[in-house]
Amino acid sequence: MADTISIRPAGTADDWTIPQGWDRYTPEEHATWDTLFARQLRQLPGRVAPEFLEGLDVLRLSRPGIPDFAELSDRLMAATGWQVVAVPGLVPDDVFFDHLANRRFVAGNFIRRPDQLDYLQEPDVFHDVFGHVPLLANPVFADYMQAYGRGGQRAAAMGAIDRLARLYWYTVEFGLIRTDDGLKLYGAGIVSSHAESIFALDDPSPHRLGFDLKRLLRTKYRIDDFQQNYFVIDSFADLLDVTLNTDFGPVYQELAGQPDIEVDTIMPEDRVYTRGTQDYARRKATATVG
């Protein structure tokens, strides 16, 4: 994901990409990938959007362990015209949007340590590739990601990046989708997390609300713990449609005069799938204070 840093590290190209350096991964690093991959494969069936499971096939490459981005990009290019490029970590917003607008997904090339399986500060290759790439093999979601990149470029020109970032957060990272078989996960931040892939679907604590673009763009989010609210889309086609067919300029202007909505608030007009107890967040807050 993008950040506000702007000093390009030595050794990166103008677009902040670096060689993945697949040959430099250690057996231990490949084993960490295999452990995380196997663990999520056991957990996700029945919980995740079918499109994600279908897309997982692009990750099954000729060599085990951390995917080789060259081979992965060949697969993805054939499916939807996307590529995966390596970066050393977070990249500036304009660089991030330019890559997405050109159907390039930026992925960290490092992997978490074995003692960090459940915790990491910066997105690593498991989050970026396992979490994000399967849906990039889906033609509709692939178009959505490009549309988001283009929207990001326009938002930058309008000083509205922070507001648009909420759309990425609540869909690409932490989105839920309605299916005939109940709610399912698709956000990369959820599907790549062993704990949140249970919490987001099963825990009584968070709210689960129907996706509404303007409402979502007014809603804060938290980066330090499980989400307190999730937004549920009806379909990827709907998500793409609203993103392509909304004139965001007037929306940004309209919303600039309205207060933000807190993460635990339910509005009278919300479509409520689950009215959460918020017990988890309350317990954590109490524990922190106490």
Residues that bind Fe ion (CB under 5 A): 123, 188
Smallest distance from Fe ion to CB 249, Å:
26
List strands edge to edge, sheet with 229-233.
182-185, 176-179, 229-233, 207-210, 272-274
Smallest distance from Fe ion to CB 127, Å:
6
- For residues 114 and 32, give the distance between their C-alpha atoms in angstroms, rounded to a whole number: 6
Nearer to Fe ion, 230 or 276 (CB): 230
Smallest distance from Fe ion to CB 131, Å:
6
Nearer to Fe ion, 89 or 210 (CB): 89
Nearer to Fe ion, 58 or 188 (CB): 188
Axis-axis angle for helices 139-157, 93-101 (nearest 10): 140
Nearer to Fe ion, 5 or 251 (CB): 5
Q: Nearest-CB residue to Fe ion?
A: 188
Nearer to Fe ion, 160 or 191 (CB): 191
Smallest distance from Fe ion to CB 192, Å:
8
Residue with tokens 């524990």: 287
Is 194 marked within a binding site? no
Smallest distance from Fe ion to CB 132, Å:
6
Smallest distance from Fe ion to CB 254, Å:
28
Nearer to Fe ion, 123 or 152 (CB): 123
Is 132 marked within a binding site? yes
Q: Which residues are documented as binding site?
A: 127, 132, 173
Q: Which residues are documented as binding site for Fe cation?
A: 127, 132, 173
